[in-house]
Structure 1
Amino acid sequence: MKESSDISRPSPSGVVRIPRIRGTWMIKQIEEGKIEVVYQAHTDPGGSIPEFAANLVVVDIPYNTLLNLKNKLTKP
């Protein structure tokens, strides 16, 4: 994944846009029925952001993405 610059939509007052984010997901089967997942990201938040917002990007979003993926893959 990477950032997308849309200059046609200016930032509202008081809003910090993330100017740079690059990330990858690597999923590798390590044995039958087991996989290894590595998520790497580099982000420039573009200014001061609250701790909850930083945690959302580095903890909550990857966790919830993997949980949703697991639920989709294990449905009959």
Structure 2
Amino acid sequence: MAVSAEYDPDSMVQLNIRLKERRIPQIKGLLRITGETQQALFDRLVLEEAQRNPDVLLASIATQREALDQEEREVREDLGL
């Protein structure tokens, strides 16, 4: 089964806004209650949001992969490979 996703800046912006709206007012209390680090809490919130909207997660992964591929091409070019 092939999965493809296209980067949608509006979806990414909406994801970030929703995460910030959830995270900012609650983060100190949640960190105290759960003992999570800020990064672990943010990762959990991203995962919860991705479960509700998997296309956003797939687009994010595809975008990150594209950026890594571009960086690899630039390094290879700089090294003359």
Same fold? TM cut 0.5: no
TM-score after normalising by structure 1:
0.33
User: If each structure's strand is expressed as a fraction of its own residues, which one has the higher value?
Assistant: 1
Q: Which has the higher contact order (CA 8 A, sep 6+)?
A: 2
User: If each structure's helix is expressed as a fraction of its own residues, which one has the higher value?
Assistant: 2
